[in-house]
A and B are shown apart, each in its own frame.
Chain A
Amino acid sequence: MNILVCISNVPDTTSKINFKDQNEAFDTNGVQFIINPNDEFGLTRAIWLQQKSGAKVTVVTIGDSSCEPILRKCLAIGADQAIRIDAHPLDGFFVASQLAALCKKETYDLIITGRESIDYNGAMVGGMLATMLSLPYVANCIQMDVEGTNVSLQREIDGGKETLISTFPIVLGAQKGLVEESDLIIPNMRGIMQARQKPLTVESAITLNQATSVKIFEKPPEKGPVKLVDSNDVDGLIELLQNEAKVL
């Protein structure tokens, strides 16, 4: 089985979010980048299939050379090879189109994206990619059981879950549940050493028209201080929620 895991290079949640160039671009100065957490759940699930049935795991990201450390980390976690498509990821449609072009050149049985990235939270790459390839897509995927060429999956829905079946190839949007946080693989020294020898190839991007353009960023206005109510005055809190916030 050939598995492609699509990785997004995202700022760590604790990063300060700032903008530059008259608020037209995200300021990466001092920002620590990590593997998008949802993608890491997906990668871990892929490694399990590699360990169990010898699946080959390829990771791919769209970005400039500053993304290579996270690809090396994916290799240290256990991926067999990495691809970097050399382009600035302009929007979700651009990313999905680049991935679709790659998937038309190579054949993958299972393509894993994250449910959403934690920077733009678009939740769109997986569904777009699947549709471009005329493949089925399962979003918010919390379980996957493989039986030969058939696969049974669970999707988290509002208020519960849904069970689906399909045949390969398929695209899924990984999230916690597919594996648990305690299952995440912390690379050991051997993994890190091996990762240096594993192939990381750079491919050029296809050209396409951009579907959307981000014009300007802004930060929400500074929030005022919290209004504290004395712990013996719950009436006061109720009164504020009713008459000031108008939410009761």
Chain B
Amino acid sequence: MSVVVYIESQKGVVKKAGLEIASFGRAIADASQDSLVAVTFNLEDTSTLKLYGVDKVYNVNTEEDNFFNVERYANSIQNVVLKEAAKIILVSASADGRYLGPILAVKSKAAYFSNVVALPTSYDPLTVKRSCFTNKAFNESTTNEECSVISLCSNAYGLKEKQGLAEVVEASYETSSTSLKVVSVDKVTDKITIADADIVVSGGRGLKGPENWHLIEDLATVLGAATACSKPVSDMGWRPHSEHVGQTGKPVASNLYIAIGVSGAIQHLAGINSSKVKVVINNDPEAPFFKAADYGIVGDAFEVVPQLISKLKALKQ
């Protein structure tokens, strides 16, 4: 039998989340003594997958269709699931992965587990640990179906190299039966996204105004980080809505989250608390963020952040 993993790529190159889900898949395949079968779309070079323990790759060529067409992707993956008689299907927790997962689960008559944070604790029946209540708790859930789809939280497992064959086989791009069509994509390609970033630098109302955002941007640049902001900051138009993180904004699950001039309201924390290490810089020692953070500096952002930027720059040289 096989474990089937959907590996995301961008412009023909595997995304980091794709390598993480492959690593996770390898460990599951080892534990359940299955082979690890990847489904990719328009991958230019499948050899990277050899380093992450993939045994076989179905690389679908979508030809005329450049967009992520969720129906066609789901049908194409479903095809491989049937061929391989897979009992476990894995997807990343990216926007596309979370879009695809439930659709694929219904098509495959599979149970669906989102927000999975670790390797299964049992394979008979399949049992997984998931986060819930916006990371204020976890639960252990078991499948009642023959087949299950697991969506792994970003950065929950990490990258683990292991040799594999990554033998490439033919795969077909299936059709869609609904009227839905993607007509255009509007995406920043020169900046690292909040979803893909290892480090996120976030600014709050404490930065006083958009003219001071060079502090956030310079710090992010030296760290190779994505930039984010609190809700009032995007509501006031200091920053674009796409940077708003929290309960009503984007979720963040980075390895390092640096909050500057953010008070740490519960709705803000709800969106960012699955980040591994949290750092706060705030001039109010009573700010609630200090209760949620791992490291903190009580101080004025306008003094601390420039020092941090120059020290980090010096370190990088």
A-side residues, CB < 8 A to B, are 11, 13-14, 17, 19, 37, 91-93, 96, 118-128, 130-132, 134-140, 155-167, 170, 175-177, 181, 209-220, 223, 226-231, 234-235, 237-238, 240-241, 245, 247-248
Q: B255 contacts A140, CB within 8 Å?
A: no
B304 to chain A, nearest CB (A): 6
Give the shortest distance, in Å, between B146 (CB) and chain A (any CB).
11
Given A176-B248, A214-B139, A226-B296; A161-B291 close (CB under 8 Å): no
Report the bound CA distance from A135 to B242 in whole Å: 28
Q: Which of B46-54, B82-90, B93-101, B205-213 contacts A (4 or more CB under 8 A)?
A: B93-101
Rounded to whole Å, the gap between the CB of A84 and the closest CB of chain B is: 23
Distance between A170 CB and nearest chain B CB, rounded to angstroms? 7
Report if A214-B140 is in contact (Cβ < 8 Å); known contacts: A128-B112, A163-B184, A241-B279: yes
CA A214 to CA B235, docked complex, whole Å = 38
Sort chain B's interface into a size bin: 35 or more
Stretch from B21-29, B30-38, B57-65, B125-133 at the A interface? B125-133
Please state if A217 and B139 are interface contacts (CB–CB under 8 Å).
yes
Q: Does B67 lie within 8 Å of A162, measured CB to CB?
A: yes
The tally of CB-CB contacts under 8 A between chains A and B is 247
Assess the A159–B183 pair: CB atoms within 8 A.
no
Cα–Cα distance between A227 and B277 once the two chains are bound (Å):
12
Most buried by A among B242, B256, B300: B242
- Structural contact, A216 and B140, CB atoms closer than 8 A: yes
Across the interface, do B294 and A245 meet the contact criterion of CB distance under 8 Å? yes
In contact, A215 and B184 (Cβ under 8 angstroms)? no
Contact B139 A227 (CB under 8 A): no
Q: Give 12 new A-B contacts, CB below 8 A, not counting A217-B132, A228-B295, A229-B296.
A: A13-B266, A17-B136, A122-B115, A124-B102, A126-B102, A128-B102, A158-B95, A161-B186, A164-B181, A212-B143, A212-B145, A219-B136
| C-alpha gap A123/B105 in the complex (Å) | 13
Give the residue name and chain of the A residue nearest to B231 (CB): A181
Q: Is B280 an interface residue (CB 8 A)?
A: yes
Q: Is the beta-carbon distance between A210 and B276 smaller than 8 angstroms?
A: no
Cβ contact within 8 Å between B195 and A158 = yes
B141 and A240 contacting across the interface, CB-CB below 8 Å: no
Residues of A within 8 A of B136 (CB): 17, 219-220
- B142: nearest chain-A partner, CB-CB: A213
Closest to B198 in A: A247
List of B residues within 8 angstroms of A139 by Cβ: 95, 98-99
Interface of A is mostly: mixed
Shortest Cβ distance from residue B219 to the other chain A in the assembled complex, whole angstroms: 11
Q: List B271-312 residues whose CB lies under 8 Å from chain A.
A: 276-277, 279-280, 290-300, 303-304, 307-308, 311-312
A-B pairs, 9 with minimum CB distance = A231-B299, A160-B187, A136-B180, A127-B102, A159-B193, A158-B195, A131-B106, A124-B102, A136-B178
The answer to whether B132 and A215 have CB atoms under 8 Å apart is no
B binding-site residues for A, Cβ under 8 Å: 67-68, 70-71, 94-96, 98-99, 101-103, 105-107, 110-115, 127, 131-145, 177-189, 191, 193-196, 198-199, 223, 235, 241-242, 244, 247-249, 255-256, 266-267, 270, 276-277, 279-280, 290-300, 303-304, 307-308, 311-312, 315
Chain B neighbourhood of A231, CB < 8 A = 297-300, 303-304
Check if B132 sits within 8 Å of A120, measured CB to CB: yes
Given the interface pairs A11-B133, A217-B139, the reply to whether A158 lies near B193 with Cβ below 8 Å is yes
Cα distance A179–B266 when bound, in Å? 22
Cα–Cα distance between A130 and B95 once the two chains are bound (Å):
17
CA–CA, A24 to B195, complex, Å? Answer: 32
| CB proximity of A37 to chain B, nearest CB, Å | 6
Task: Report which of A127, A165, A215, A237 forms a contact with B295, defined as CB distance below 8 A.
Answer: A237
In the complex, which residues of chain B have a beta carbon less than 8 angstroms from the beta carbon of A131? 102-103, 106-107
Judging by beta carbons under 8 Å apart, are B143 and A229 in contact? no
Please measure, in the bound complex, the distance between the C-alpha atom of A50 and the C-alpha atom of B195, giving whole angstroms: 36
Q: What separation, in Å, do the CA atoms of A137 and B69 have in the docked complex?
A: 11
Known contacts A165-B181, A231-B298; A92 and B102 CB within 8 A of each other? yes
